[in-house]
């Protein structure tokens, strides 16, 4: 799904820095070494450093799912003064900070990011 989102954003001239969308992070997490997990984490932080805006994809069906990386990334982006746009619904207290922009869906994100 998010690979398609990346493609749609590219069509309106919005680039992405998230290397995990290239698929190499989608492997069986439990089957990789701690060193490789650390490398993936550092890549994610480096990609956030290279970005102007952090888009948090957070529809209701994502709540309480995953490993929590999106929450760490949100905090990192906020701490580093990045623009944060949440697509979907607020899930935790930090999503209520005034600097977190909330849009309901992908068309709303495109509208927000369009030049």
The full set of domains in the chain, from first to last, is 2-113 (3.40.50.450)
Mean pLDDT of the chain: 87
Across residues 21-37, what is the average pLDDT? Answer: 76
- H or E element at residue 112: helix 106-113
The predicted-structure confidence for 43-93, as pLDDT tens digits, reads as follows 999 999 999 999 999 887 766 777 778 899 999 999 999 999 999 999 999
Across residues 36-46, what is the average pLDDT? Answer: 91
The pTM of the full predicted model, rounded to 2 decimals, is 0.86
Q: Whose CA is closest to 106, among 21, 14, 17?
A: 14
DSSP 63: T
């Amino acid at each position: 799904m998010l690979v398609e989102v990346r493609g749609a954003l590219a069509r309106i001239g919005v680039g992405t820095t998230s290397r995990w969308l290239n698929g190499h992070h989608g492997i069986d997490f439990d089957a990789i070494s701690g060193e490789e997990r650390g490398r993936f984490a550092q890549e994610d932080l480096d990609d956030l450093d290279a970005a102007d805006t952090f888009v948090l994809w957070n529809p209701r069906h994502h709540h309480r799912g995953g490993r929590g990386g999106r929450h760490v990334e949100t905090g990192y982006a906020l701490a580093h003064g990045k623009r944060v746009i949440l697509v979907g619904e607020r899930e935790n207290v930090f999503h209520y900070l005034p600097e977190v922009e909330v849009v309901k869906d992908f068309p709303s994100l495109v509208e927000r990011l369009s030049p």
